[in-house]
Structure 1
Amino acid sequence: MYRRIKRGLDLLVAILLYALWTPLSIVLLRIPIRLGSYGHSLLKQERVGLNGQKFTIFKLRTMYSNANEIGRANGIRSHAKPKGDDPRVTPLGKFLRKTSIDEFPQLLNIIRGEMSFIGPRPPQPHEMKEWRAMYGNLATKRLEVLPGLTGWAQVNGRDALTPKQRLEHDAYYVENQSFWLDLMILIKTIPTLFKWESAN
């Protein structure tokens, strides 16, 4: 029952926020992104969601269009997540990542029913493959719920967590999902935005 109510609230809030976000983002963010680095302002990535189904996630582009070339020149693997003063990330992109504003286009993923506001962050296929090989059922437990913009792992360490710790937090959320746990996560998420931490 709660999951149905949660889906209804997700849809209602996401539609309202998306209607406000879209015109503002075009003027304040998407145009500056394209002016600062050639290429599309929106980034599409394949992620793994509910029941292992793959879907396309949307983000504001925070890296230069030739990020892979820049990475190779600096000895950075193509799949490596940006850290610190990563040369692949644009100046505006650093701000967007630190404030998690780059994740706002995922409101569309919520409207489409591929994500929720709260749930485990959706991994990339190569990450899921590695986790399954190393942690088995602990890795697949997170696939029993919709992935989210923020989750239990994000408010309990984020990037400071090891992959196993993150999966343990995700499993805890799946087993204890409730209105009160979601509310706690939402409340704890707000301060993290002001700490400038990327959701990934």
Structure 2
Amino acid sequence: MNKQPSLRTERLILRPFGLSDANDVRRLAGERAIASVTLNIPYPYEEGMAEEWISGHQESFEKRETANFAIVRIEKEILIGAIGLMLTQEDQRAELGYWIGRPYWNNGYCTEAAKTVLRYGFIRLNLNKIHASHFKRNSASGRVMRKIGMSHEGCQKQHVKKWEFFQDLELYGILRRDYQAEQFSKKTDKDNS
């Protein structure tokens, strides 16, 4: 059995979800404000949905299909959101997805977690590209993508339907070579200061 690792940042632990997280997932992801800006989170978030979602994580990780992490604040060990990679192994790429519970917005947690997951994807999973998308009306998600070094790759007009409304998707991506060049540049700048 291939066990999913935990990752650590300055303020966060990114760890595999456990069934004990189900109530917090349902409470946080179940808010209409979260569901309205994500493609795959249902509303209402009904009893049993979180348990079903969490139950499939380990098998999906073992098959190298996904790597889903609970975002937990180190201080008080509070679950605040989720972040993950949906892997396409034959193309050495993954789609990054995330959500943060509304009480924890505007604290930089998503950017902090996303930087760590990028590093994990490129270094540990040997990916060539990581991409992400957001509804055009969810500009906060786009800011996270830009902060972690992703480039805007285009817009797919009315590409998906959420709650009977067609949504434009803004597309972002970053290649391993660009990620490595940015990391090298940061290290060089730090060494020269």
TM-score under structure 1 length normalisation = 0.23
| More RCO (CA 8 Å, sep 6+) | 1
Q: Larger strand proportion, structure 1 or 2?
A: 2
TM-score under structure 2 length normalisation = 0.24
Q: Larger helix proportion, structure 1 or 2?
A: 1
